A and B are shown apart, each in its own frame.
Chain A
Amino acid sequence: MRTPMPLGRVSATALLTAFLIVAVAIAVVGAFQTRANMAATFDRQASIQLAQLTFEELRRLQIVEENALRGYSLSRDSFYTEQYDSAVQDFDAKLASVRRTLQVQRLNDADRVLADYALIQDNWRQQVAAPLLRHPNATQIADLDMRNKLFTDYESRIVAVLRRDLAAANAAFAGSTQAQLDRSAYVRAFWLLLFGVLAILFNAYRGRLDRELEEERTTTQTLQRAFRSESVPLPHCDVGTAYRSASIRVAVGGDVFDVFRTTPQRALLMIADVSGKGIDAAVLTAFIKFTVRGMSLRHDDPGMLLAEFNETFERTVRNRDLFVSMLVGMLDTKTFEFRYASAGHDAAFLRSKGDVRTLEVTGPILGVMQSDFETRAVHLRPGDALVLATDGLTEARDRKGDMLGTDGARALIGLAPGRAQDLADALASSVAMRGANRLRDDLALLVVVVKEDAGA
């Protein structure tokens, strides 16, 4: 079980991450919206510019009409009437195109002026062009010239107004485009700034978080070094230990073992698995270690020791969510009698002449209820190995999720090397390999092998 990150840290990290995601999302959506707006403005501007060009073409056709009429009145050449007719048709088509554009772009004033222009041109055709085309030698030519002048003067003024209006519309769209570009730049700058600030805050927060975690890890390691499992050399015995933490961030577990010589001839062997991890578990393991050591000086009966510890644990810890599985044994280093009591701790084995058996549980887990704990005894012979482990051994899972189990543990122990430390290391490696180097639970191993020359 990994140490959970405090809720406040998770919330702050999630909040900052959410801010970053929202900032990026809004910036991306905003960029697309700006692009769409600018594309629409560019379309309108292009439309106005096309209307300007078409209007200038219209204007050219008007002059073509007038010049064709002059040519015809002077030469009576049908070439000019064809030119005139063609210009009239083109003029009307272009006029419709420009008016459509002005109406689509809602340039109503310009459209009204253009309508006036079209009306004047139509009147010119009726009142000036038509009479001259019918009677090129008309006597009232001077009057027609005057009318022509009137029409062209008026059209000149209208053209000037239309040019001005279209240019103003074009300039307005250009200004709008520039404004959108400016706005887009400001918005981008704002989001970039916000994103940068959030990133800096996020980075700073992560840095602080990492520092806090590092401090906690260091503190925990310091505590663990101070309180963690210890072993001392025992006469005629070979002692090996191994400890693997399942936590990546914090190398602290709730497993603990201890080898403590209560007298020159007698040694306390203890292994326990505490629910919970981190500093709380480390403190609890310290409590267990020193309490059991203290009690071992008064009791040489492991069952009585566990019963007293159970009562002390309940009174002291007062947390119904915390419980401990523990095996306590007293090893006589002269007779090699090992008397033990097990409070729900089923990962203890005795290897003797190739046979591996489990040391039976003799009472319930500590911290659950008041109970007596039976003391049992086994007699160790030279070469025998006591293997005290935590459930990180028996509950080690492979990639499929299958647990090693007690039988699997016994099989591993049966095949392991003879020296205590080699045996502990081999078991730890097997567990690590089984889980592809990912431990699901902490693992503590205490191995005591009676030396071959112990009976001599």
Chain B
Amino acid sequence: MRNVGVFVLTLAMAAVMATAAFAQCDVHAGNHVVLYSEADDPDVLLWDSRFRLRDYNAASFDVSRELLPHARLLSQGTRATVESCVPDFVQLRLQNGYEDAIGIIITSGKYQHIRGWVLSTDLRLHR
């Protein structure tokens, strides 16, 4: 009985923390989005891990190049659904800024049903 209480309390705290985290993101779980990068090349890199996403954006050019095998290049316009968000998770190299890491599942194109992580600036809400 006592273990159940601790479990419930842990769940409640996790829920509160998750709610607080989501509160700082522009997108939320369940949002339908379209991939479109604000970089010069509007195609989007979908990463298999949010940590590699972070490393790619924070590392030097050579290190970033070494990480490319862990990413897929998705054409702009690919549709997806938001599953999670970690605010200010990615620190951008040189720019001293932070961006959110967004967990998504692809819902169109040849990578449909694939999960991965993108930057918050790599997507926009689908109207």
> Do A and B originate from a single complex?
yes
Which A residues have a C-beta under 8 Å from some C-beta of B? 62-63, 66, 113, 120, 142, 145-150, 152-158, 160-161, 164
Check if B94 is an interface residue, CB within 8 A of chain A. yes
| Count of interface residues, chain B, beta-carbon cutoff 8 Å | 16
**A142-B39 Cα distance, complex, nearest whole Å:** 19
**A383-B65 Cα distance, complex, nearest whole Å:** 135
| Beta-carbon contacts under 8 Å, B39-84 to A | 39-41, 43, 45, 61, 64-65, 68, 71, 73
Does the CB pair A142–B95 fall under 8 Å? no
Check if B92 is an interface residue, CB within 8 A of chain A. yes
Chain A residues contacting B93 (CB-CB under 8 Å) are 157
**A120-B94 Cα distance, complex, nearest whole Å:** 15
**A377-B37 Cα distance, complex, nearest whole Å:** 132
**A20-B73 Cα distance, complex, nearest whole Å:** 78
**A113-B93 Cα distance, complex, nearest whole Å:** 12
Does the CB pair A149–B41 fall under 8 Å? yes
Does the CB pair B95–A161 fall under 8 Å? yes
**A384-B52 Cα distance, complex, nearest whole Å:** 136
Chain A proximity of B76: nearest CB distance (Å): 11
Chain B proximity of A71: nearest CB distance (Å): 15
Given pairs A63-B40, A146-B73, 8 additional interface contacts (CB within 8 A):
A120-B61, A148-B41, A155-B40, A157-B92, A157-B95, A160-B95, A161-B94, A161-B95
| Pairs across A and B, CB under 8 Å, 30 listed | A66-B40, A66-B41, A113-B94, A142-B73, A145-B43, A145-B73, A146-B71, A147-B65, A148-B41, A149-B43, A150-B61, A150-B65, A150-B68, A152-B40, A152-B41, A153-B37, A153-B39, A153-B41, A153-B45, A154-B61, A154-B64, A155-B40, A156-B39, A157-B93, A157-B94, A157-B95, A158-B94, A160-B94, A160-B95, A161-B95
**B84-97 near A? 1/0 per residue, CB < 8 Å:** 00000000111100
Does the CB pair B40–A150 fall under 8 Å? no
Chain A proximity of B21: nearest CB distance (Å): 25
Chain B residues contacting A154 (CB-CB under 8 Å) are 61, 64
Q: A150 with B64: in contact, given A63-B40, A155-B40 (CB under 8 Å)?
A: yes
Chain A residues contacting B45 (CB-CB under 8 Å) are 149, 153
**A156-B40 Cα distance, complex, nearest whole Å:** 6
Residue of A nearest to B93 (CB): A157
**A66-B43 Cα distance, complex, nearest whole Å:** 13
Chain B residues contacting A153 (CB-CB under 8 Å) are 37, 39-41, 45, 64
Chain B proximity of A117: nearest CB distance (Å): 10
Chain A residues contacting B68 (CB-CB under 8 Å) are 146-147, 150
Residue of A nearest to B43 (CB): A149
Residue of B nearest to A160 (CB): B95
